[in-house]
Amino acid sequence: MTRFSVFSLAKNALSGHRLWERTWRDAAPRDAYDVVIVGGGGHGLATAYYLAKEHGVRSVAVVEKGWIGGGNAGRNTTIIRSNYELEGNAAFYEWSMKLWEGLEQDLNYNAMVSQRGVLNLCHSDAQRDAYARRGNAMRMNGVDAELLDKEGVRRLAPFLDFDQARFPIQGGMYQPRGGTARHDAVVWGYARGASDRGVDIIQNCEVTGFLRGADGRITGVETTRGVIAAGRVGVAVAGNSSRVAAMVGLRLPIESHVLQAFVSEALKPVLPGVITFGAGHFYVSQSDKGGLVFGGDIDGYNSYASRGNLPVVEDVCEGGMAIMPMIGRARLLRSWGGICDMTMDGSPIIDRAPVDGLYLNAGWCYGGFKATPASGWCFAHLIATDQPHETATRYRLDRFATGHLIDEKGQGAQPNLH
Amino acid sequence: MRLPCPFCGDRDASEFVYRGDAAPVRPATSEGFYDYVYLRENPAGPMREHWYHAQGCRNWLVVTRDTRTHEVFGAVLARGAAQ
Amino acid sequence: MAEPLQITARGKVALATVMARKGVDAAAIGASLGLTPPTGPLTAQDETMTLIGVGPGAWLAISEYGQAGWAAMLGGKLAGIASVSDQTSGYIVLRVSGEGAGDLLQKGAFIDLDRTAFGVGAAATTVIAHIGVILWKVDDAPTFDVALFRSFADSFRDWIAASAPGLAAPSSPVR
Ligand SMILES: Cc1cc2nc3c(=O)[nH]c(=O)nc-3n(C[C@H](O)[C@H](O)[C@H](O)COP(=O)(O)OP(=O)(O)OC[C@H]3O[C@@H](n4cnc5c(N)ncnc54)[C@H](O)[C@@H]3O)c2cc1C
Ligand SMILES: [Zn+2]
C-alpha cells in the first residue's frame, strides 16, 4: 500500500494521478476465518483494523450486506465530542477523543478531524447549573470543559438570537476539543488500514443465520454468498442488532428508531463550530464544503424505513429558527434518515452475547459516530482477549437486569426519550 | 404518517404519543418483570403498538403498522383490544 | 354573498365535561339529560345546551345561559352514571364565521375542513397551530366554534392575526 506523503503526492502528480492504487481490496469470501465481523460500518471496520494492528489477529473478514459506509457511518452529522458526565461513559468517550486526535497519523489517511469546538447553549438557571455540574465532572475526569456566560457565547457566535423572549441565551458549556470529522473518510481510512493488514472486506454479503456446534457454540455465519466458518463472530450492525440477534433467538433491550439529518446549500463560512440548542433538540455545524449540517430528535417510533416524517422536520426547523433566525434564509439541499439502535438507557452495549463465540457491539443511538475509534478498539480487545477493555467495562448486556443502567440523560427505561 | 383513530378518524401522527410494542404484558409478580420492562422483539415488519391520542380523543390505541414502510393497516381502541 | 369574516369570543357560556362511567352508554345519559349525546365526533343540541363528542363516552357540554352552578346541576342529573366537571373558566370559546372562516382555520389544522368532509354538526378534537382545540361547525355561513384552554388565548389570537391578512385581532377581548 502506498503511503500518502508529500513525495507520493508529487510522484503521482507527474503521472496525472492516474496510477494511484485502490485504497482497499474488495475481497471474495474464503471458507474460514479466525474472526468474522458482521457489519461494514465505521465500528465493524475499526474493530477489524485494531484486531489486526493491536492484537495480531489477521485472519479476519468484515461482511457487509451492502457497501461499506452505506449505513449510519455515511449518514451521520459527523460530530465528535467527549462531554459526558457519568462514570462508565466519561473514560470511554475521552479515550475515543484521544484516538481521534491521533487517528490521521495512525491511519496515514486524512479523515478531516477538525477540533473546532462544541458549544451547548443554556437558556435557564437550572440548565446552567446542570452544565456547571457536567463541566466539573468532565474536568475531574481530565476532559476539557469551559462554562461560558452570555458574553462568552457572544464572542464565539455573535449571530445567535440572544434576546429571544421565549428562550434567551444565558450562556453555554464549551468543549474546545470537540468538533467534526469526515464520516466517509473515517470508513475508508479504517478499511484501508485493515485491508493493508490482511483483513478481507466482503461487500454485498448479508448474514442470514449462524452456524452452531453441538454444544451451541457459534462456528460461523450463513450469508448470501455462502457459508463462512469462524472461530469468533462479532456483530456491529448499528440499527439492525435486534434482527441479527433474533437469528440466535436473542431478544435485546433495544428498539430501532429513525433519526433524520439535513444539509443546506453551501454557504461561505458562518459557523465557528458545532452549536446545540438547549431548549429543544437542534444541533448544527458547517461542513468544509459549506453546507449547514443539522438535525434534532429521533422521530420517536419503531422504524426500519431509513426515512422519517414531517413533524420532526418542522420541529428541527423551529429549533433552528429559535436560536439563529439567519438559518431561515438558507435553502435546504437534502434530508435523509438512518436507523439507530435505541437502548433502554441510551448507552451502548459492548459485551459477550450469552451464546459462546458471539460478541455484541450494539445500542449506538444518536452518538455512535464519535465513538467509532474507541468502539473498534474496545470491541477488538474483547474479541481478542475475552475480557472487556478497561474503558468499556460498564457496557454490559446484563446491566439492565442488575440495575447498573447508564442513563446519561436521566430519562428512564423508554428508548424514545433518550 | 397518519393514523386512523377509531373515534376521531385519520389524524397526523404528531397528535399522538408513542409507547411502543403492545405485546409485552405486565406480569403479576416480579417474575418476568425484567423481560417486560426491557426486552423487545423489535420486529422489521408488521407490529402492533400502543399510541396515545393525546391531542385528540385522549384514548390509547393499538395500531398495526409495518416498521419497514410505515404503512398503517388499522387501529382499534386499546381498551377493547385483546392483548 | 357570505357575510364578512368575524371572530368573536362567546361570552357568558357555561362549559362542562361529561364522562360516562364504565358500562354506561349514550342512551342512558340521554335519558337523564333529555338530549341524547352523539356517539362520534358530532354535535347534538336542544334549546338548553350543545353536546360535543370529544371521545368514546366523553362530551363537552355548553350552555348559553351560563349561570353559576350549571355544571353542578348537570352533575346532579347524571349522578352515578357520569362524572361532570366544570370547565367554564378553563376554556374560552371563539366563534369564527363568515367568508373565509374555513380557509383561515384550515391554515393551522391537520384535518380537512372542506364542507364535504366537515359539514354542519361535525366536531373534532385536534390541533390548530400547535394549540389543542375542540372545533365544531355550527352552520353553513359558515360558522365554526373553537374551544381552547384560556391560557392559550393570546397565542391563538396572535396566530389569527398572522394568518388572516387584513384581519384585525378578534373584535371582543378574548380573555
Ligand atoms: C442521521 C444521523 C445522524 C447522526 N449524527 C451523529 C453525530 O453527529 N455524532 C455521532 O457521534 N453519531 C451520530 N450518529 C450515530 C452514528 O452514525 C452511529 O451510531 C454509527 O455510525 C453506528 O455505527 P456504524 O458506523 O458501524 O454503523 P453503520 O454504518 O450503520 O454500519 C452497520 C452496517 O451493518 C450492515 N448490516 C446490517 N445487517 C447486516 C447483516 N445481516 N449482514 C451484513 N451486514 C449487515 C449495514 O448494512 C451497515 O453498513 C448519527 C446517526 C444518524 C442516523
Ligand atoms: Zn382519537
Parent domain of A197: 23-78+183-253+345-402
pLDDT surpassing 90 at residue C68: no
Q: Looking at the structure, do residues A222 and A262 belong to the same domain, yes or no?
A: no
**Bridge partners, residue A226, by sequence:** A223
Question: Ligand 1: does its nearest atom lie under 6 Å from the Cβ of A48?
Answer: no
CATH code for position B47: 3.30.2270.10
d(CA A415, CA A405): 13
Domain shared by A338 and A190, yes or no: no
Answer whether B44 sits within 8 Å of A243, measured CB to CB.
yes
Whether the CB of A379 sits within 6 Å of ligand 1: no
- What lies within 8 Å, CB to CB, of A365 at 6+ separation is A340, A341, A342, A343, A346, A347, A348, A418
SS3 A76: coil
CA distance A157 to chain B (A): 33
- Contacts for A163 with CB less than 8 Å, ≥ 6 apart: none
The partner residue sitting opposite C124, judged by closest CB among B8, B14, B77, is B8
Q: State the pLDDT at residue C175.
A: 43
Residue C58's closest chain B neighbor by CA? B57
For residues A338 and A189, state if they share a domain.
no
What is the distance between the alpha carbons of residues A331 and C44, in angstroms, rounded to a whole number? 49
pLDDT (mean) for C51-58: 97
Give me the DSSP letters along B52-79. Answer: E-TTTT--EEEEEEETTT--EEEEEETT
- Same-domain status, A187 and A332: no
Amino acid at A170: Q
Which of B14, B15, B38, B68 best tests the A interface by mutation, with the highest count of A CBs <10 A? B38
CB < 8 Å & 24+ apart, contacts of A155-164: A156/A117, A156/A119, A156/A272, A156/A273, A157/A119, A157/A271, A157/A272, A157/A275, A159/A270, A159/A324, A159/A326, A160/A121, A160/A275, A160/A323, A160/A324, A161/A322, A161/A323, A161/A324, A161/A325, A164/A322, A164/A323
**Mean pLDDT for all residues in chain A:** 96
More confident residue, A386 or C66: A386
Partner-chain residue, chosen from A253, A300, A304, that has the shortest CB–CB distance to B68: A304
- Residues of B with Cβ-Cβ distance to C126 under 8 angstroms: 8, 11, 15, 55-56
Question: Is residue C119 scored above 80 in pLDDT?
Answer: yes
Domains of chain C, by residue range, sit at 6-10+90-163, 14-86
Number of domains in chain A: 2
From chain B, pick out residues whose CB is under 8 angstroms from the CB of A400.
Answer: 34, 37-38
Let me know whether A308 and A386 are in one domain: no
CATH number of the domain encompassing residue A247: 3.50.50.60
Minimal C-alpha gap between B6 and chain C (Å): 9
What's the number of domains chain B is made of?
1
Chains with 3+ CB–CB pairs under 8 A to A are B
Strand (E) or helix (H) holding A173: strand A171-175
Spans in chain B with pLDDT lower than 70: 82-83
Return the pLDDT at C167: 57
- Based on the fold, state whether residues A300 and A352 are members of the same structural domain: no
Q: Over the stretch A105-160, which tens digit does the pLDDT of each residue have?
A: 999 999 999 999 999 999 999 999 999 999 999 999 999 999 999 999 999 999 99
Cell of A232: 469468533
User: What is the Cα–Cα distance from B3 to C126, expressed in whole angstroms?
Assistant: 13
Nearest to C125 among B12, B56, B77 (CB): B56
| A156 and A42, same domain (yes or no) | no
pLDDT digits (tens, 9 = 90+) for A278-307: 988 999 999 999 999 999 999 999 999 999
> Considering chain A, what percentage of its residues have pLDDT values greater than 90?
94
State the pLDDT confidence band at A360, using cuts at 50, 70 and 90: very high
- Of A148, A212, A201, A142, nearest to A174 by C-alpha is A148
Under an 8 A CB cutoff, do A302 and B20 touch? Answer: yes
Domain check: are A236 and A189 in the same one? yes
C-alpha cell at A271: 459557523
Q: Which amino acid is at A378?
A: C
What's the start-to-end Cα distance of chain B, in Å?
24
Q: What is the ipTM of this complex?
A: 0.96
DSSP secondary structure code for residue A3 in this structure? P
Same domain for A158 and A192? no
What would be the CATH architecture of the domain defined by C14-86?
2-Layer Sandwich (3.30)
Same domain, A248 and A189: yes
Return the pLDDT at A237: 98
**A302-353 per-position pLDDT tens digit:** 999 999 999 999 999 999 999 999 999 999 999 999 999 999 999 999 999 9
Which among A243, A255, A401 is the nearest to B20, CB-wise?
A255
- DSSP string across A273-324: SEEE-SSSS-EEEE-TTSEEEEEEEEEEEE--SS---HHHHHHHHHHHHHH-
Q: Which chains touch B (3 or more CB pairs under 8 A)?
A: A, C
| pLDDT score recorded for residue C1 | 56
User: What are the pLDDT digits (tens) for A371-396?
Assistant: 999 999 999 999 999 999 999 999 99
Using an 8 Å CB-CB cutoff, list chain C residues near B56.
55, 124-126
% of chain C with per-residue pLDDT over 70: 93
Other CB atoms within 10 A of residue A72 CB: 24
A413·B1 Cβ contact <8 A: no
Residue of A309, A376, A364, A311 whose CA lies nearest to A339: A364
Which range marks the domain in which residue B36 is found?
2-80
Mean pLDDT, rounded, for C70-91: 95
pTM above 0.90, yes or no: yes
Task: Report helix, strand or coil for A197.
Answer: coil
Cα of A318 from ligand 2 centre, angstroms: 26
Task: Categorise residue A238: left if φ over 0, alpha if ψ from -120 to 50, beta otherwise.
Answer: left
pLDDT of residue A414: 82
Query: What mean pLDDT comes out for the span C8-32?
Result: 95
Q: Which residue of B has its CA nearest to C39?
A: B7
- In the structure, what pLDDT confidence band is assigned to residue C67 with cuts at 50, 70 and 90? confident
Same-domain status, A167 and A264: yes
Q: Is A75 in the pocket of ligand 1 (CB under 6 A)?
A: yes
For the segment A45-83, what is each residue's pLDDT rounded down to a tens digit?
999 999 999 999 999 999 999 999 999 999 999 999 999
C-alpha to C-alpha distance for C105 and C138, rounded to whole angstroms:
14
Looking at the domain assignment, is residue A18 inside a domain? no
Spatial CA neighbour of A295 closest among A321, A313, A270, A268: A313
Domain at A312, CATH number:
3.30.9.10
Closest-CA residue to A46 (of A62, A34, A35, A23): A62
Q: Which fold has domain C6-10+90-163?
A: Gyrase A; domain 2 (3.30.1360)
The grid coordinates of residue C64 equal 348559553
pLDDT at C173: 46
Q: Cα–Cα distance between B75 and C54 in angstroms, integer? A: 18
Residues 6 or more apart whose Cβ sits within 8 Å of residue C47: none
